[in-house]
Amino acid sequence: MFDLSMTKLLVLAVIALVVFGPHDLPKIAAQAGRALRDLRRIAENAKADLKEGLGPEFQDFDFEDLNPKRFVQKHLLDEPVTTQSAAGAARPAGNGMSGNGAAGNGAAGNGTTAANGSATVLQAGDDPPFDLEAT
């Protein structure tokens, strides 16, 4: 999450030792640990209260779905389509996104997925599809 390596943790410990001193550092570390435990307990209680308040319809609700990264992955990006390469190994095809800008005549626009599932590739100099009704 914070990408803390061992050297970064060691530098932080030395800075804390210099700032707080060797006598106060254990007390401050214990207070920080208690505060973190209390904060986690409060967060878990709030999640439990929210699930209880939502009712039985939302028993399978996952709070991780509220994370913006997971939300985008779940709701905007399709599952990656795998194709067989020449070597026989499966590899992802495309960028995992489905286009939604089909042209008005029923044909797929550039960079979108047609009704039959075949993707068209945007060529150099081509304009991307644009849906006037969507804006």
Q: What is the pLDDT of residues 80-133, one digit of tens each?
A: 444 454 445 554 444 444 444 444 444 444 445 555 556 678 888 888 777 778
- Please give the full DSSP string across 97-134, using - where no structure is assigned: -------TTSSPPTTSB-TTSPBPPPPTTPPPP--GGG
- The chain-wide mean pLDDT, for the chain, equals 73
**What pTM value is reported for the model?**
0.42
Please state, in angstroms and rounded to a whole number, the distance separating the CA atoms of residues 102 and 8: 50
Note whether 94 and 81 are within 8 A (CB): yes
